[in-house]
């Protein structure tokens, strides 16, 4: 969940109608590191290079995302935090491409002419990452999400709520889960902002923990078309990493 979700949040907050209406392409490339034991006796370390392509036109945002992954651990959890059947497995290092995700977001309300901005999103996570390497579950996930945000002077508080239909990997029965995120962005200057969010998701199995983690970030507008985000993450449950950090570079054309 975390790598692609962070990329979507950091490169697109706020994402809706505050942007120009004409079609616009953007490319996001990042570097992410996380570490945690996820309830096992072995520390799992994950390096990721997320890549995202986005096209915006009128009320629509369309995004295609993936990541190159390098994971050192016992294979008990995917980079998204999903548990796998790998109890007692020795620690190994694997690498390869992660899952491919496609997301479509529609702006229902324009915050410039309404009491708040409202968006609806649909997402498909294709199970393209290798399950044998513990880089993914090998199954598709589907989710729907609603988001609301309200500009208040230099502040931009937001709230997202969604539901995810999980595909079951071999030997594990996943639950469909509710998820949510709450946070704010604060504009310090026209070219610098900072913010944070808290993210939560129900446990996907009867024996696992819910995802619970918080993020802080700095957002630098290098020029009209380039942006750099620096962030740090802390986890509060066994389904989340103990800590993580990274950066995302955005180029719009």
SS3 203: coil
pLDDT tens profile 80-122: 888 887 666 788 999 999 999 999 999 999 888 888 999 999 9
Q: CB within 8 A of 30, min separation 6: which ones? A: 6, 7, 48, 49, 50, 51, 229, 246, 247, 248, 249
What pLDDT shows up at residue 58?
84
Q: Is the pTM higher than 0.75?
A: yes
- In whole angstroms, give the CA distance from residue 107 to residue 50: 25
SS3 44: strand
Domains of the chain: 2-252 (2.40.160.40)
What pLDDT shows up at residue 76?
87
What pLDDT shows up at residue 55?
95
What pLDDT shows up at residue 15?
44
What pLDDT shows up at residue 13?
55
205, two tokens: 């199995």
Q: Predicted confidence band at 2 (pLDDT cuts at 50, 70, 90)? A: low
pLDDT tens profile 25-77: 999 999 999 999 888 888 999 999 999 999 998 899 999 999 999 999 988 88
- In whole angstroms, give the CA distance from residue 19 to residue 15: 7
pLDDT tens profile 117-165: 999 999 999 999 999 899 999 999 999 999 999 999 999 999 999 999 9
Q: Is there a cis peptide before residue 161, judged by omega within 30 degrees of 0?
A: no
- In whole angstroms, give the CA distance from residue 135 to residue 201: 20
Structure-model confidence comparison of residues 33 and 3, the more confident one: 33
Q: Tell me how far CA of residue 236 lies from CA of 200, 211, 213, 242, 243, in angstroms.
A: 10, 8, 6, 7, 9
Structure-model confidence comparison of residues 77 and 5, the more confident one: 77
237, two tokens: 């449950």
> How confident is the model over 209-222, as a mean pLDDT?
95
> How confident is the model over 180-208, as a mean pLDDT?
94
Q: What is the DSSP code (8-state) at residue 170?
A: T
């Amino acid at each position: 969940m975390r790598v692609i979700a962070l990329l979507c949040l950091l490169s697109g907050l706020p994402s809706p109608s505050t942007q120009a209406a004409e079609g616009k392409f953007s490319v996001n490339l990042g570097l992410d590191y996380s570490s945690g034991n996820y309830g096992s006796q072995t520390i799992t370390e994950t390096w990721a290079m997320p890549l995202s392509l986005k096209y915006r036109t009128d009320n629509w945002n369309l995004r295609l995302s993936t990541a190159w992954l390098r994971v050192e651990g016992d294979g008990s959890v995917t980079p998204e935090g999903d548990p796998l059947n790998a109890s007692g497995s020795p620690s190994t290092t694997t690498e390869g491409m992660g899952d491919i995700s496609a997301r479509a977001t529609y702006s229902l309300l324009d915050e410039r002419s309404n009491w708040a901005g409202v968006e609806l999103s649909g997402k498909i996570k294709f199970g393209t990452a290798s399950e044998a390497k513990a880089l993914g579950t090998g199954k598709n996930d589907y989710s729907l999400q609603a988001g609301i945000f309200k500009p208040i002077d230099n502040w931009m508080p937001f709230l997202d709520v969604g539901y995810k239909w999980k595909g079951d990997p071999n030997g594990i029965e996943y639950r469909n889960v509710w998820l949510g995120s709450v946070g704010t962005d604060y504009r310090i200057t026209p070219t610098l902002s900072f913010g944070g969010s808290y993210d939560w998701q129900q446990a996907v199995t009867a024996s696992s923990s819910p995802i619970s983690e918080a993020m802080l970030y700095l957002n630098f507008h290098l020029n009209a078309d380039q942006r750099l985000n620096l962030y740090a993450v802390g986890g509060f449950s066994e389904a989340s990493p103990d800590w993580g950090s990274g950066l995302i570079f955005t180029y719009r054309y």
